[in-house]
Amino acid sequence: MDKVFSPTENLVLKTLGKKKMTVADITSKIFEDPEKVMNPNAVVSSAIIRINKKCKFHKLSWWINSYGLGRAGKTVWLDKS
């Protein structure tokens, strides 16, 4: 699966694991210095969207489910299709 997902997407998946986390929590764990990235929450949020599109395209048996609104307030977790 490493060939399907980009390095950023793999980092998001590795950080998320089997836990429920907010996008802000994932961002703080991935980016040690968030000021080096223009909008780190948007990077993580976009990676989650791309992961879900790739899961659907490759007909994988899982995806990232979410609850809540906004980039920082959204809670995400791995879920089975």
pLDDT tens-digit map of 10-40: 999 999 999 999 999 999 999 987 678 888 9
* Residues contacting 4, CB < 8 A, separation 6+: 54, 58
When computed from its CA atoms, the radius of gyration of the chain, rounded to whole angstroms, is 12
- Contact present, 43 and 36 (Cβ < 8 Å): no
- The model's confidence at residue 60, banded by pLDDT at 50, 70 and 90, is very high
pTM of the entire predicted model: 0.89
**Domain 7-80: CATH class, spelled out:** mainly alpha
23 burial (CB, 10 Å; 0-12 / 13-18 / 19+) is buried
- The model's confidence at residue 81, banded by pLDDT at 50, 70 and 90, is confident
What does the domain layout of the chain look like in residue ranges?
7-80
Using CA atoms, how far apart are residues 48 and 44, in angstroms rounded to an integer?
6
